[in-house]
Amino acid sequence: MHAQDSRTTTYTTLQAGRDFRYELEIKRSRFITVLRRAGTEDEARDLVAGLRREFHDARHHCSAFVIGPDRTIQRSSDDGEPAGTAGIPMLEALLKRETAPGATDLSDISAVVVRYFGGVLLGAGGLVRAYSESVSASLELAPLIRRSRLRICCTAVPHAGAGRLENDLRAAGLVMAETTYQDRLTVLRVAVPDHPEAIAAATERIQQLTSGSAALTPEGTEWIDERPA
């Protein structure tokens, strides 16, 4: 399913930018968890490949990732640990992470746990707890953000008044998308919830701010990072 055709209109993900890292020591074994925002399987697997090179002397590089607004892609790997003791617990930690009261919608995220064996066997149950806790503890501290599918609406205004209008729209609580420039006009792009009432309210606001000289033209939809989760 294409992201634009998803059933959901909002979900939680990791903030874009640098990887997030967290380390636990359990019975002398080091568990280094790395989280990365990943919108495709290739991006998720790139994290595993990069960490294999960085931590080339580690015994295990276990992984799990969830991708898509509807979480349609879910994968995990035990990478040599006993079957079911690493990848699945990591995946469940991603899937069960509560991002708001009663909401479990974390997606577009790849998690890798690098393990340096400390000489003490943890047993199957101990491994499950260690890998699950590694990811869960990382998510407690990682910067998460809400991502929403919004309708993009455009308005073209003279260059001279574009900056002020954009500031007024932001002050009114509207989300601004990319601005483009033509010879004589600035095209402001406003992102609003994808339903008629929200578009009508944004249109009315534009007309109020421009004394009726500007209008909004609805276009396609985009997924936009909105606010910290």
140-199: per-residue pLDDT in tens? 999 999 999 999 999 999 999 999 999 999 998 888 888 999 999 999 999 998 888 989
Task: Indicate if the pLDDT at residue 229 is higher than 80.
Answer: no
Task: Indicate if the pLDDT at residue 1 is higher than 60.
Answer: no
Provide the pLDDT confidence category of residue 3 given band limits of 50, 70 and 90.
low
Q: How is residue 190 written in tokens?
A: 């406003």
Task: Indicate if the pLDDT at residue 53 is higher than 80.
Answer: yes
Task: Indicate if the pLDDT at residue 2 is higher than 60.
Answer: no
d(CA 111, CA 89): 11
Q: Inter-axis angle of helices 159-171 and 196-209, to 10 degrees?
A: 130
pTM score, two decimals? 0.84
Mean pLDDT confidence for 44-68: 97
Residue 127 near residue 134, CB atoms below 8 Å:
no
Q: How is residue 229 written in tokens?
A: 């989760």
Neighbour-count burial for 12-32, b at 16+ CB within 10 Å, e otherwise: bbbeeeeebebebebeebebb
pLDDT for the residue 195: 84
Residue 38 near residue 109, CB atoms below 8 Å:
yes
Task: Indicate if the pLDDT at residue 108 is higher than 70.
Answer: yes
Residue 15 DSSP one-character state? P
Q: What is the CA radius of gyration of the chain?
A: 22
What amino acid is encoded at 42 in this protein? Answer: D
Residues of the chain with pLDDT > 70, as a percent, come to 97
Nearest to 80 by CA among 148, 43, 131, 120: 131
pLDDT for the residue 111: 98
Provide the pLDDT confidence category of residue 73 given band limits of 50, 70 and 90.
very high
Q: How is residue 227 written in tokens?
A: 């606010």
Q: List the domains of the chain with CATH numbers.
A: 3-142 (3.30.230.30), 146-228 (3.30.70.240)
Task: Indicate if the pLDDT at residue 7 is higher than 60.
Answer: yes
pLDDT for the residue 154: 95
Segment 113-149, tens digit of pLDDT = 999 999 899 999 999 999 999 999 999 999 999 999 9
d(CA 69, CA 7): 8
Task: Indicate if the pLDDT at residue 81 is higher than 60.
Answer: yes
Nearest to 110 by CA among 18, 56, 47, 50: 47
| Average pLDDT score over the chain | 93
d(CA 214, CA 207): 6
Do the bridges between strand 60-67 and strand 175-176 make them parallel or antiparallel, or are there none, so unpaired?
unpaired
